[in-house]
């Protein structure tokens, strides 16, 4: 196994779209949850918003954002993803960069307080996690100073918020580390290395903590919901590929572990439906921070006047 094969899900053309399983929450696919959120907040597609998406991948969620956008800035640190999304959205501006570096470039280019929507779907845990540890095919190298890592990750979230225009939103979807599916994923990665405090939910904790602090300082208001649902695999084979290709990213230590292979096979079997499909119990955290909405805006207008 080489570095090229490890993380092939994000580095090999077509692999992400082939392995990705659709996720349904209350019968609604994740992309449609975002479509509904956009309809609720802006009504019909208005082609008027300044929108950026971090970790855009091949543009699956961008499809929901694009009809609302006047200008789209799409960020991903994988060249393969950026090349796919550029073909799909030729009018968008693309940045092939780490989310933290892209945030700094956008701020340096005068884009502070200029985006109506700063979004990241199933992707923010990577740049936040990268402050704490570096993951390669050879292993995991934790940052020697975890307190500094936490401060830098916090500053990254604050900088993301600085991109949002008054009245705009930072909108993110994050995986639910406590779901049965993700608990199995955590158990697997602990074969490679332990996680910082709080297990694999630590990236979400960093994000929520930074947003709660911003709310306390009157920067805006946080709405955070968690939905239960499933990742739906059409077959046991697709479910196994999902675990080993997407969750375990073909990491050599995890591919070679026979106990892990047995645990995944048992989990898949337990969740196989009579029609042969596999409904993997999953969850999503939807995080919406509205900038400029002081908590006092929750007081009914009559009382505030
Ligand atoms: C799980 S995929 C989600 C893709 C897309 N948002 C979706 O919902 O289909 C995560 C994406 O984040 C990108 N990514 C990972 N680490 C990143 C980083 N540090 N900065 C920017 N993008 C990153 C990956 O290349 C990948 O496209």
**pLDDT tens digits, residue range 8-19?**
777 777 888 888
Query: Whose alpha carbon is nearest atom 16 of ligand 1?
Result: 126
CA distance 57 to 142: 26
Please indicate, yes or no, if residue 95 is contained in any of the structural domains.
yes
What tokens were used for 23?
């996720």
Domain that holds residue 164: 20-179+193-229+283-292
Query: Does the beta carbon of 116 sit less than 6 angstroms from any atom of ligand 1?
Result: no
Q: Is the pLDDT of residue 55 over 80?
A: yes
Please indicate, yes or no, if residue 32 is contained in any of the structural domains.
yes
Query: Does the beta carbon of 203 sit less than 6 angstroms from any atom of ligand 1?
Result: no
Bridge partners, 281 (sequence order)? 230
Please indicate, yes or no, if residue 244 is contained in any of the structural domains.
no
Yes or no: say if 128 and 206 are a contact pair by the CB < 8 Å rule.
yes
CA distance 84 to 265: 32
* d(CA 184, ligand 1 centre) in Å: 21
Percent of the chain with pLDDT over 90: 76
Yes or no: say if 68 and 48 are a contact pair by the CB < 8 Å rule.
yes
Query: Does the beta carbon of 56 sit less than 6 angstroms from any atom of ligand 1?
Result: yes
pLDDT value at residue 10:
73
Q: Is the pLDDT of residue 27 over 50?
A: yes
Please indicate, yes or no, if residue 188 is contained in any of the structural domains.
no
Which positions ≥6 away from 185 have C-beta within 8 Å? Answer: 200, 243, 247, 248
* d(CA 122, ligand 1 centre) in Å: 7
The bridge status of strand 139-142 relative to strand 93-96 is: unpaired
Please indicate, yes or no, if residue 110 is contained in any of the structural domains.
yes
pLDDT value at residue 305:
63
In terms of C-beta density within 10 A (0-12 exposed, 13-18 middle, 19 or more buried), how is residue 6 classed?
buried
What is the atom index within ligand 1 of the atom nearest the CA of 10? 25
Residue 182 to residues 16, 198, 298, Cα–Cα distance (Å) = 18, 14, 35
Query: Does the beta carbon of 207 sit less than 6 angstroms from any atom of ligand 1?
Result: no
CA distance 108 to 102: 10
Query: Whose alpha carbon is nearest atom 4 of ligand 1?
Result: 57
Please indicate, yes or no, if residue 74 is contained in any of the structural domains.
yes
Q: Give the model confidence (pLDDT) of 90-149 as tens digits.
A: 999 999 999 999 999 999 999 999 999 999 999 999 999 999 988 776 667 788 899 999
- Alpha helix positions (H), 51-141: 62-65, 79-88, 99-108, 125-130
Please indicate, yes or no, if residue 209 is contained in any of the structural domains.
yes
Q: Is the pLDDT of residue 167 over 90?
A: yes
What is the atom index within ligand 1 of the atom nearest the CA of 60? 9
Query: Whose alpha carbon is nearest atom 9 of ligand 1?
Result: 60
* d(CA 57, ligand 1 centre) in Å: 5
* d(CA 300, ligand 1 centre) in Å: 39
pLDDT value at residue 1:
43
* d(CA 218, ligand 1 centre) in Å: 30
The CATH number covering residue 69 comes to 3.40.50.150
Query: Of 16, 22, 76, which is best to mutate to test ligand 1, by the most ligand atoms within 8 angstroms of its C-beta?
Result: 76
Query: Of 119, 122, 123, 157, which is best to mutate to test ligand 1, by the most ligand atoms within 8 angstroms of its C-beta?
Result: 123
In terms of C-beta density within 10 A (0-12 exposed, 13-18 middle, 19 or more buried), how is residue 81 classed?
buried
What is the atom index within ligand 1 of the atom nearest the CA of 120? 6
Q: Is 299 helix (H, G, I), strand (E, B) or coil?
A: coil
Q: Is 219 helix (H, G, I), strand (E, B) or coil?
A: coil
Q: Is the pLDDT of residue 217 over 90?
A: yes
* CB hemisphere CA count around 243 (13 angstroms): 29
pLDDT value at residue 301:
74
Domains: count for the chain: 1
Bridge partners, 196 (sequence order)? none
* d(CA 76, ligand 1 centre) in Å: 6
Please indicate, yes or no, if residue 265 is contained in any of the structural domains.
no
Backbone phi, psi, residue 13, to 5°: -55, 130
pLDDT value at residue 11:
75
């Amino acid at each position: 196994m080489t570095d090229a094969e490890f993380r092939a899900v994000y580095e090999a053309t077509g692999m992400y779209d082939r392995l990705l399983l659709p996720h349904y929450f209350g019968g609604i696919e994740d992309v449609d949850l975002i479509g509904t959120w956009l309809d609720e907040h802006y009504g019909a597609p208005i082609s008027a918003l300044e929108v950026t998406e971090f970790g855009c991948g091949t543009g699956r969620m961008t499809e929901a954002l694009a009809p609302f956008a006047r200008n789209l800035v799409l960020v991903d640190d994988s060249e393969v993803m950026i090349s796919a999304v550029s073909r799909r959205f030729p009018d968008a501006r693309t940045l092939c960069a780490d989310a933290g570096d892209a945030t700094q470039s956008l701020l340096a280019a005068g884009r502070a307080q200029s985006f109506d929507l700063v979004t990241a779907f199933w992707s923010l845990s990577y740049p936040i996690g990268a402050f704490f540890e570096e993951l390669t095919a050879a292993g995991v190298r934790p940052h020697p100073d975890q307190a500094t890592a936490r401060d830098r990750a916090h500053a990254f979230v604050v900088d993301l918020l600085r991109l949002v225009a008054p009245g705009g939103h930072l909108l993110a979807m994050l995986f639910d580390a406590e779901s049965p599916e993700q608990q199995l994923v955590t158990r697997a990665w602990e074969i490679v290395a332990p996680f910082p405090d709080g297990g694999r939910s630590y990236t979400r904790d960093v994000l929520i903590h930074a947003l709660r602090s911003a709310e306390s300082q009157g920067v805006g208001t946080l709405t955070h919901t968690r939905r239960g649902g499933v990742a739906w695999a059409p077959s046991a084979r697709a479910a196994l590929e999902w675990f080993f290709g997407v969750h375990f990213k073909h990491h050599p230590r995890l591919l070679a572990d026979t106990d892990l292979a047995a645990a995944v096979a048992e989990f898949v079997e337990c969740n196989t439906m009579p029609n042969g499909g596999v409904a993997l119990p999953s969850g999503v955290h939807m995080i919406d921070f509205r900038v400029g909405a002081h908590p006092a805006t929750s007081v009914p207008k009559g009382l505030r006047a």
